[in-house]
């Protein structure tokens, strides 16, 4: 019945791709056409096994980039679905800053595809989203990392621990800060949550990995609380 209603509405109010404005056909769910979705730059081998930074050269063996070799991250590795460019970056920004939640299913699709390809879910016990400061979440009306984590939880049948980490300091935006400045900016920004994570193997979820400072701060707290292992998973990897 719902499908019939949607089809009837599409005839009266045709859906158009939010990027190229071309009409969407019935087989195209969401708000982006197949041609524009195909422009998403998936992260494919070769890439750093620690932070998913793609590499343009010819490398057949697993490797870690120079950036990761200099930073003792508290997560074992970070998996990212796409480069934070073009349609992917725009979807994330429109969701976060314009509250355009109809982009979420596309972000979830990219996230789930990367999770299915690069993570052995039989070794994972639970999923933890990176938290927002309560004031920012009230202003935005949602936490995009939690929305992503909930769909991931349903897809792979793993429990969601929504309060594994709490954000207690409202920091300035990380967007224009260098790596070292981001780490200083996040100092004492997070604290342990009430969720029980001791002994668990966790996937920590966020929308974007840029320098890894936010994910590392959260992973450090989870490890301090006794987590057996922490892996990070994001929709996009800043390049």
Q: What pLDDT band is residue 11 in, cutting at 50, 70 and 90?
A: very low
Element spanning 194, H or E: none
Q: Which fold has domain 40-237?
A: Rossmann fold (3.40.50)
Q: What pLDDT band is residue 236 in, cutting at 50, 70 and 90?
A: very high
Which residue intervals of 2-100 are DSSP H helices? 2-12, 34-37, 66-69, 86-98
Residue with tokens 């939690």: 146
Q: What pLDDT band is residue 57 in, cutting at 50, 70 and 90?
A: confident
The mean pLDDT value for 156-176 works out to 87
Q: How far is 162 from 131, CA to CA, in rounded Å?
A: 8
Report pLDDT for 13.
47
Structure tokens at 55: 């590499």
Q: What is the pLDDT of residues 125-151, one digit of tens each?
A: 999 999 999 999 999 999 999 999 999
Q: What is the mean pLDDT of the chain?
A: 90
pLDDT at 224 > cutoff 70: yes
What is residue 113's DSSP assignment?
H
- pLDDT: is 176 or 67 the higher one? 67
Domain boundaries, the chain: 1-39, 40-237
Q: What pLDDT band is residue 158 in, cutting at 50, 70 and 90?
A: very high
Give the SS3 label for residue 8. helix
Nearest CA among 199, 228, 186, 234 for reference residue 74: 228
Nearest CA among 229, 223, 221 for reference residue 131: 221
Cβ neighbors of 207 (< 8 A, separation 6 or more) are 92, 96, 107, 144, 145, 148, 234, 235, 236
The mean pLDDT value for 177-197 works out to 81
Can you give the length of the chain in residues? 239
Report pLDDT for 61.
82
Among 12-21, 117-126, 147-156, which stretch is predicted with the lowest mean pLDDT?
12-21
Element spanning 79, H or E: strand 78-83
Please state at what angle helix 86-98 crosses helix 144-156, rounded to 10 degrees: 110
Q: How far is 62 from 143, CA to CA, in rounded Å?
A: 34
Q: What is the pLDDT of residues 96-127, one digit of tens each?
A: 999 999 999 999 999 999 999 999 999 999 99
Q: What is the pLDDT of residues 61-99, one digit of tens each?
A: 888 999 898 889 999 999 999 999 999 999 999 999 999
Report pLDDT for 2.
37
pTM of the model: 0.90
Q: How far is 107 from 128, CA to CA, in rounded Å?
A: 17
């Amino acid at each position: 019945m719902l499908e019939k209603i949607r089809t009837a509405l599409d005839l009266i109010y045709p859906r158009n791709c939010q990027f190229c404005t071309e009409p969407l056909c019935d087989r195209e769910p969401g708000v982006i056409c197949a041609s524009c979705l195909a422009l998403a730059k998936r992260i494919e081998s070769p890439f750093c096994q620690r932070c998913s930074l793609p590499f343009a050269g010819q490398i057949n063996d697993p490797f870690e980039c120079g950036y990761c070799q200099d930073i003792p991250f508290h997560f074992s590795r970070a998996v990212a679905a796409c480069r934070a460019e073009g349609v992917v970056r725009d979807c994330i920004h429109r969701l976060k800053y314009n509250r355009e939640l109809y982009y979420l299913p596309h972000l979830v699709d990219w996230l789930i595809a990367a999770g299915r390809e690069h993570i052995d879910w039989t070794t994972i016990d639970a999923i933890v989203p990176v938290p927002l400061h309560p004031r920012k979440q009230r202003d935005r009306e949602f936490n995009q990392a939690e929305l992503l984590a909930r769909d991931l939880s349903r897809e792979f049948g793993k429990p969601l621990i929504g309060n594994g980490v709490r954000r207690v300091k409202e920091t300035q935006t990380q967007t224009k800060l260098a790596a070292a400045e981001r780490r200083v900016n996040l100092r004492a920004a997070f604290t342990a949550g009430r969720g029980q994570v001791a002994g668990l193997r966790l996937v920590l979820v966020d929308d974007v990995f840029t320098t890894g400072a936010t994910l590392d701060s959260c992973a450090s707290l989870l490890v301090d609380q006794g987590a057996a292992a922490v892996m990070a998973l994001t929709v996009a990897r800043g390049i």
